[in-house]
Structure 1
Amino acid sequence: MSGIIGKKIGMTSMISADGRNVACTVVQAGPCVVTQVKTMDKDGYEAVQLGFGEKKEKNTSAPLLGHFKKANTTPKRKLAEFKEFAKQVSLGDTLTAVDIFVEGDFVDVIGTSKGKGFQGVVKRHNFSGVGGQTHGQHNRQRHPGSNGACSFPARVFKGQRMAGRTGNARIKTQNLKILKIIPEANLLVISGSVAGAKNSYLLIEK
């Protein structure tokens, strides 16, 4: 499983070979620096740690400054590990999108969805609300309705769909096709949408 760290630029559309208008997401994938190579002997598992995005030294802790100094690189804003890295890499190497992906590859993209705060059941679970305003129901349009039984079991079942915090969750979108690679700008054009706001960090796994 190879991968790279990217930043979501935004969405656009492309015309496919059969004339369809395909929605797609533009992602800046890299350049990423190999900040650590984990081995079975030293760490108990094998993985490659990548760093992406620049960060000021004054905002970086001393242990992390030493960590980046070992890789002979500047402090990075986002770190992520990828296990079973297909490409042989060494500490301090720089990876870009063209080093890992080719056009036509199918990838999984992991992002953090937009946080929407505390929301009701209509927005959170797509409820339709109670309905009309007849028979005194003047303020029930977006209410959940009944949410439990009567004297037995005298409680609300665990997992009942109710109001609560919405969004701000880690979401993996699978089997998205890379439609185009723009190597001079390290851009990937990926079919469909992925979780996250503009300029949020993404993990693209092959």
Structure 2
Amino acid sequence: MSIGLMGRKLGMTQIFDQEEGIAIPVTVVEVGPCIVTQIKTPSTDGYSAVQLGYKTVKEKALTKPELGHLKKVNPENTPSLRHLKEYRVDDPESYQLGQSLNADLFSEDQLVDVRGTSIGRGFAGYQKRHGFARGPMSHGSKNHRLPGSIGPGTTPGRVYPGSRMAGRMGGKTVTTRKLKVVRVDSEKNVLLIKGTIPGKPGGLLSITPSNLVGAKAS
């Protein structure tokens, strides 16, 4: 298990591979700096993990319990961090309270998993939400975008749970796995990740190394 970082999506662009002569679509992600706010060990908490804080905000934006928790990091200069997240690690003792983690935690050609909130699309019909086919459009048909039958009648006399119908679409936590890190800019704390990732520009993300530890993308 390896630690990850929180960040935010900036948008998409493309870079050019001169050797292959192709354009590569990439998502620009600003990662960190993330501050170590808590270290959990088997002796104190029953498991090994490191809690990170991200995005500095005004002190009045946090509650007193949150400020009291962050005060343990630095009593003299308490950081006001908006987002807190735990990452399971094998060696929590290698991290220190108040330590800052940046984009140099990742390397080029590394495979990462990106977790974010997908774009919310509001209340959507069953065709847009699930890709169902429409009804006939001619010969007097009045079933164009209707859902149709949702189950048998007398037996069982009810609708089975989990039926695919109209409802809220998007706005859910989504993880895209095994994406390739194309470029790392340690000075600006920016990663260029090949392909698309969940969410809108500005959305909160969690980037972690894929299960293939040390794997290189082909």
The bucket for the TM-score relative to the shorter chain is over 0.9
Q: What pairs up with 1:151-190 in 2 under 5 angstroms?
A: 151-190=154-193
Change (3 A) 1:92 1:194: same
Q: Report the count of equivalent residues.
A: 203
Q: What pairs up with 1:91-110 in 2 under 5 angstroms?
A: 91-98=97-104, 100-110=105-115
- Stretches of structure 1 that go unaligned for 5 or more consecutive residues are none
Identity of aligned residues (%): 42
- Whether the aligned pair in 2 keeps the contact of 1:2 and 1:85 (CA below 8 Å) is no
Task: Tell me, in whole angstroms, the C-alpha distance in 2 between the residues paired with 1:85 and 1:21.
Answer: 38
Over residues 20-59 of structure 1, what are the superposed CA-to-partner deviations in whole Å (9 max), with x where a residue is unaligned? 2222111001111101111111111110111110111112
Q: What pairs up with 1:195-206 in 2 under 5 angstroms?
A: 195-206=198-209
Q: Which amino acid in structure 2 is aligned with residue 33 of structure 1?
A: I
Structure 2 length-normalised TM: 0.87
- Whether the aligned pair in 1 keeps the contact of 2:48 and 2:91 (CA below 8 Å) is no
Residue of 33, 36, 45 corresponding to 1:34: 36
- Stretches of structure 2 that go unaligned for 5 or more consecutive residues are 210-218
- Whether the aligned pair in 2 keeps the contact of 1:117 and 1:165 (CA below 8 Å) is yes
Structure 1 length-normalised TM: 0.92
Over residues 114-152 of structure 1, what are the superposed CA-to-partner deviations in whole Å (9 max), with x where a residue is unaligned? 122221101110112213142242xx3222222212332
* Counterpart in the other structure of 1:76: 81
Worse-matched range after superposition: 81-90 or 173-182: 81-90
RMSD between superposed Cα atoms in Å: 1.6
* Counterpart in the other structure of 1:89: 95
* Counterpart in the other structure of 2:127: 122
Residue of 48, 56, 59 corresponding to 1:57: 59
Q: Return the offset for 1:168.
A: 1.3
Task: Tell me, in whole angstroms, the C-alpha distance in 2 between the residues paired with 1:200 and 1:28.
Answer: 11
